[in-house]
Amino acid sequence: MRSQNTTNEHMRAVGGRSIVPGAAVSETVLDVRGLNCPLPVLRARKRLHQLPAGALLRMLASDPGTVRDVEAMCEATGDELLESKAEQGEFSFLIRRSG
């Protein structure tokens, strides 16, 4: 598992307020590629609990079951799934921590 903080530019609503183009938003990256269900979602949930409300978590996974698991986790926790992408057998999720 690799976790790191990066800064990305976002043009979407974050934390109930609009982010202007060019504004930097901190994004924590959680790499759980190579792990199988239920470990990716368990690690994501643990990491989200360590983040402040409104923080962004980018999760990278390789297990196809993670797609439905992340959706279910967000419904159960109230965290917001902002983005879900699949490309060449890898999955990327952007989750905003509820608060």
Residue positions annotated with a catalytic role: 37
Contact (Cβ atoms closer than 8 angstroms) between residue 35 and residue 9: no
How many angstroms separate the CA atoms of 16 and 39, rounded? 30
How many angstroms separate the CA atoms of 99 and 97, rounded? 6
Type and span of the H or E element at 43: helix 39-50
Residue 51: C-alpha distances to residues 15, 43, 73 (Å): 13, 13, 16
